[in-house]
Amino acid sequence: MKKSVLLAAAAAVVLSAVGAQAQDFTIGLSNGWVGSEWRTQMIEEAQEAAKKWADKGVNVEVVVQSANVDVPGQIAHVRNFINQGVDAIIINPNSPTAFDPVFAQAKEAGILVISTDAEVSSPDAIYVGIDQTAWGAAGAKWLAETLGGKGEVVAINGVAGHPANEMRVAGYRSVFKDYPDIKVVNEVNANWDQAQGQQAMQNILATYPNINGVWVQDGMAAGAWRSIIDAGKTNDIAATGEIRKDFIDLWVENNLNSGASVNPPGVMASALNVAVLMLQGKELKQPATAGQYGNAMYLEIPFIDSSNVKEIHSQLEGKPGHYSYTHSLSIEEAEALFK
């Protein structure tokens, strides 16, 4: 008994000596909304990305707080991480502005803070993710070009007042402005809900039987396309799509005239790789100074259209229906961004 205790103690000493040589980082992941599979996939991919660092001799421990919380609840997430003494916090924030004071406290405690998926105004954090404005613009550009720069278009938007939604709306408006013959005849809100998207589309088809194009986001696109297919207008309407396997199946089966900007759930994994490199003391070649808050580092936005949808369809073979097409920076790709 005594011997085994001694052995264990010796092992612990050896292990901690090894640990001192290898790098150990604890990274806290905070997600304040669990209403979609996209968020679950986001966290799973980040956890996978952390494991890959083991090959490089870096031990990245990930601690996760993911639950439906209000803004104070997510501020509490951050405070819990501070109390726990993590090295970095990666957060998909419920509010763009509400975290300024608590991020300042995290920075004082020597913690690196990175937001992903939604930008934050805090000067004490950086954003690693896609530019939602460019995301909205990419879909609009595809739509405008597909329609030959001419036609009547409707937009189905997410939640009014939500920053990502407002940025995406600004994105498509800036594109359609350059096409004088594209008329946006109506803009409706369907709250990022597939069923509401489907209903909104039914209403639109009844009100504007002659529309040519639909700009619609995320899961609402699947709903809108159901209405278009039910109305037998598959060949008459071009509409943006989304990135879940279910929809891509539908897209390929019905040969839809669609194009989808990709907001990959891998953004948090990308942010994690960037975080580890920063914790190692490396410096970005291009400092994160983009975006409205001057603290953003934008990742590339993949695009799916008729040219690559078949290839992506076969890549997603065997995945569950709710699985989103994804992309993230590998460790090597992230390293290339640093000096």
Partner 1 sequence: MSASETTAASRSGIAGLVERFPFLPALVILIVLLALNGWFQPNSLGFRAITGLISTYLALMMLAVAQTYVVYSGDVDLSVGAILSLVNCAIVVLMERWGGGGGAVLAACAVGILTGLACGLLNGVVVAVLRLQAIVATFATSILFTGMALYVLPVAGTPAPTVYWRTYGGRFFEIPFVFYVVAALAIVLAIAVRARLTTQMLAVGDDAFKAFQSGLPVTAIRLKGYVLCGLFSALAALCITGDTASGDPLVGGAMTLYSVAAVVLGGTALSGGRGSVGGSVLGALIIGLISSFVFYVGTPSQWQNLVQGLAILLALMLGILVTRRVRA
Taking the complex as a whole, the smallest distance from the CB of residue 79 to partner 1 amounts, in Å, to 4
Tell me how many degrees the CA angle 269-270-273 measures, rounded to the nearest 5: 90
Task: Identify any residues that bridge with 184 across adjacent strands, giving them in sequence order.
Answer: 153
Q: Any residues with CB less than 8 A from the CB of 188 and at least 6 apart, and which?
A: 154, 155, 156, 157, 200, 203, 204
The DSSP output letter for 56 is: G
Nearer to partner 1, 95 or 234 (CB): 95
Nearer to partner 1, 128 or 268 (CB): 268
Nearer to partner 1, 64 or 229 (CB): 64
Nearer to partner 1, 82 or 278 (CB): 82
Taking the complex as a whole, the smallest distance from the CB of residue 102 to partner 1 amounts, in Å, to 8
Number of Cβ atoms within 10 Å of the Cβ of 4: 8
Q: Which helix (H) or strand (E) holds 163?
A: helix 163-176
Q: Which helix (H) or strand (E) holds 172?
A: helix 163-176
Nearer to partner 1, 98 or 231 (CB): 98
Encoded tokens for 158:
């997410």
Q: Which helix (H) or strand (E) holds 214?
A: strand 213-216
Nearer to partner 1, 72 or 209 (CB): 72
For residue 71, give Cα distances in angstroms to 68, 76, 271.
10, 9, 22
Hunting for tokens 């913690």 — which residue is that?
111
Taking the complex as a whole, the smallest distance from the CB of residue 1 to partner 1 amounts, in Å, to 27
Nearer to partner 1, 71 or 134 (CB): 71
Taking the complex as a whole, the smallest distance from the CB of residue 247 to partner 1 amounts, in Å, to 24
Nearer to partner 1, 63 or 331 (CB): 63
Give the Cα separation of 282 and 157 in Å (integer).
40
Residues that bind partner 1 (CB under 8 A): 29, 31, 34, 40, 43, 63-73, 75-77, 79-80, 82-85, 95-102, 105, 121, 159-163, 166
Taking the complex as a whole, the smallest distance from the CB of residue 80 to partner 1 amounts, in Å, to 5
Taking the complex as a whole, the smallest distance from the CB of residue 237 to partner 1 amounts, in Å, to 30
Taking the complex as a whole, the smallest distance from the CB of residue 243 to partner 1 amounts, in Å, to 22
- Cβ contact 251:258 at 8 Å: yes
258-261 and 303-304 as β-strands: parallel, antiparallel, unpaired? antiparallel
Name the strands in the sheet holding 126-129, side by side, starting at the edge strand that comes first in the sequence: 58-66, 23-31, 88-92, 112-115, 126-129, 296-298
Nearer to partner 1, 95 or 254 (CB): 95
Q: What count of Cα atoms within 13 Å lies in the side-chain half-sphere of residue 238?
A: 23
Task: Identify any residues that bridge with 129 across adjacent strands, giving them in sequence order.
Answer: 298
Tell me how many degrees the CA angle 147-165-212 measures, rounded to the nearest 5: 20
